[in-house]
Structure 1
Amino acid sequence: EPLWLGSVKSNIGHTQAAAGVAGVIKMVMAMREGVLPQTLHVDEPTPHADWESGAVRLLTEPRAWESGGTRRAGVSSFGMSGTNAHVILEEPAGASVEADGRSLPAAPAAGARVLPQVVAVPLSAAGAPALAAQAAALRQTVSGDLGDPGDLDDLAFSLATTRAALDHRAVVLGNDRQAVLDGLDAVAQGRPGPVTGVAEDGHLALLFSGQGSQRLGMGRELYDSFPVYADAFDAVCAHLDTRLDRPVRDVVFGGDSDLLNRTEYTQAALFAVEVALYRLVES
């Protein structure tokens, strides 16, 4: 199979410091569409290169990017000052190819989503009156447009990731629509209940408890609800299990409290839970 050669410069010209990322964008789009795009404004390869001795070909016309194997592309960025940057891109594992040749990530397994038991609905505004108005406006949305239990989770996610975090903030916690409505009412009316405050500059410190705080099943609901927590917990356990007689996960989620209270398992279990908690908060 030849190595197909193209250039993003033929599409958009000189891009200075953006040349590398422009090439990355072009090749990601090419993978997604299943097409090797032609290099524009070129009739034939330069005669100053020996095109016969190697399996390198110039893309003078678009070609279907067959998916017989994993699609990969190398992106190079060369500069007159000596810049020589190169990155290799590879399509996502398990990508599927549509009938029109487009490469799409594999769909998540059905039923993989687990809704959290409690959602945190964040609000923010430039001042206290605006924060109350935000809560009142959001209450109308919650009371009217949310039907499926997952809608509340989607609302919380969207508010956390798509809205600006201004100085005056409130967080409403709830496990169902009514609890969230009650919390929004409290913010709108200035009553105590939700977590409220004004953001200030400062540092965050996390302090985890030591031996004596362990309990059977600790973190199990988080493990089942949040993949970030589960992945971190499993990763720590994978390292610790090589040094212990029993898997840490089995001890934590098992039924033998005496075993969990043995120091070697207590310390390992608490460390795994605390790392997973940090990764969850960080995410």
Structure 2
Amino acid sequence: HTQAAAGAVGVIKTVMALEHGTAPRTLHADTPSTRVDWTKGAVRLLRSAQEWPDTGRPRRAAVSAFGISGTNAHVVLEQAPAQSVEESAGSANPPVDTPDVPLLLSARTSPALAEQAARTAQFLRSHPETDPAAAGWSLATTRAGHQHRAVVLGPDRAGLLDSLDALAIGTADPALVRGTTADSATGPVFVFPGQGSQWWGMGRELYDSSRVFRATVDDCADALGPYVDWSPVDLLRGEGDDPDVLHRADVVQPALFSTMVALAALWRSLGVEPGAVVG
């Protein structure tokens, strides 16, 4: 008996049945109870695995758990939508919005970090259809951060695998950074400068290359539109014939605000959440 995890096995079993389209046989039921009239109703014991055909609708199943202490639970599960390899690759809209792909790894100990690097490399090698950007997105946004950390950065699968191998065996690599966090660390601090840090065209490269940065600046431009006769998009991209307009406080302050908000959105889209914000 799985004690406190009772019911979890049933959920896992049902999820796998939904995924693979096969209902597994009922275990330990070779002799059905005589207290149930199995000739009536639609309930049947599965004496053998049974195919769960695709009917054009999602498969659904329910798992019940009845604890001796009085706990009653009933979980309804539904088949996840099918996702093709082309959709998961996401080449048109890569989830990690940078030219190079960062893979963020963390563990409680240094040996565990090396093991995670080896497992990640093995996964990428055994699943060539997986887009490294999608893997980077998952590592950055779905895993807890522990004390021992590392990041590998590369423009392609081969470079990432070389750096992961270096981390796994403990050798140096120019695209690998590793270290430990302080016990009291609560996250990075986003520091945004005030007036005087601006320049003409200061956001051109990020606006043109990052869809997250661009979308946020565009939102700021839409919000400012009814109140000003200029656009932060033009200022950040260096378009127009009057660079001196950035010397006006009523222009530079909203322009800097747009830049800061867009930078914060970009960092957060990569899984970097601030412990504090100053500025």
Taking structure 1 as the reference length, what is the TM-score of the superposition? 0.51
Runs (5+) with no aligned partner, structure 1: 1-106
Give the counterpart of 2:199 among 200, 214, 238.
Answer: 214
What is the match of residue 166 of structure 1? 146
Which of residues 171, 189, 192 in structure 2 aligns to 1:205?
189
**1:107-256 alignment, distance < 5 Å:** 113-114=93-94, 116-147=98-129, 151-188=131-168, 189-191=170-172, 193=174, 194-199=176-181, 200-203=183-186, 204-210=188-194, 211-216=196-201, 218=203, 220-221=205-206, 224-227=209-212, 229-256=213-240
Aligned CA-pair RMSD: 3.2
Structure 2 vs 1, CA of residues 262 and 162 (structure 1 numbering), >3 Å: closer, same or farther?
A: closer
Change (3 A) 1:261 1:197: farther
Q: Take 1:240 and 1:260, find their aligned partners in 2: how far apart are those partners?
A: 20
Give the C-alpha shift of residue 224 in structure 1.
4.9
Q: Supply the distance in 1 between the matched residues of 2:241 and 2:118 (Cα, whole angstroms).
A: 48
| C-alpha distance in 1 between matches for 2:147 and 2:204 | 32
Count of residue pairs brought into register by the alignment: 172
2:206–2:214: 8 Å Cα contact kept in structure 1? Answer: no
Offset from partner CA, 1:37-88 (integer Å, 9 cap, x none): xxxxxxxxxxxxxxxxxxxxxxxxxxxxxxxxxxxxxxxxxxxxxxxxxxxx
Q: Which runs of 5+ in 2 are unaligned?
A: 1-86, 270-279
- Does 1:268 find its partner at 2:254? yes
How big is each residue's C-alpha offset from its partner over 1:79-110, in whole Å with a ceiling of 9 and x where there is no partner?
xxxxxxxxxxxxxxxxxxxxxxxxxxxx9xx9
Provide the identity percentage.
33
- CA offset at residue 219 of structure 1? 5.2
Distance of aligned partners of 1:234 and 1:255 in 2 relative to their CA distance in 1, 3 Å threshold: closer
Contact 2:101 2:153 in 1 (8 A): yes
In 2, Cα distance between equivalents of 1:233 and 1:240 = 10
Asked if the contact 1:119–1:156 (Cα under 8 Å) also holds between the matched residues in 2, the reply is yes
Report Cα offsets for 1:133-159 as digits up to 9, x if no partner.
2212222333453357xx011111222
**CA-CA distance at 1:191 after TM superposition:** 2.0
CA distance in 2, matches of 1:111, 1:127: 35
CA distance in 2 between partners of 1:184 and 1:281 (Å): 23
- How far is the alpha carbon of 1:246 from its aligned partner? 1.6
